[in-house]
Amino acid sequence: MIYYHGFVVVDDAMMKRAREKCLVLGETSVNLQMMSIDRAAWDVLREVRTRHFCDAANVMPAPGMYRWCIAFASTDPRVTVYTQHIMPPEDKIAIVKAILKKPDDVKPLWRKSTF
């Protein structure tokens, strides 16, 4: 099982970003919404120039709950450059945190992958 270290994104906020950036594939089905949220998450990674070492991953914050996560590290070095032993620079994490409008007390956490 792979675990990801990062911020869980809020679906509504990512859909808003997708609409603003014309990334929406559709809002009529759950699959199209999930793909639009994924595209918005990748857009965040492009904006902060972290695509080469971050990932947009599907995680389970709680049993039965599935969310997208902007992951900085994983337990599998084939998935992300950074692992639990070597973490990414704090300045990159701070930039992503600011774009996602996370409160100061929110820290990136390890979350279990959905697959």
Helix, strand counts (H, E) of the chain:
3, 4
pLDDT at 24: 81
> What is the reported pLDDT for 95?
86
Rounded CA separation 69/53 (Å): 14
Structural domain boundaries in the chain: 3-109
β 65-74/55-62 pair status:
antiparallel
Q: What is the pLDDT of residue 111?
A: 93
55, burial (CB in 10 Å: exposed 0-12, middle 13-18, buried 19+):
buried
| pLDDT at position 109 | 93
pLDDT tens sequence for the chain (115 residues): 899 999 998 878 888 888 888 888 766 677 788 788 888 888 887 887 766 677 888 899 888 888 888 888 999 888 888 888 888 888 888 888 888 888 999 999 999 998 7
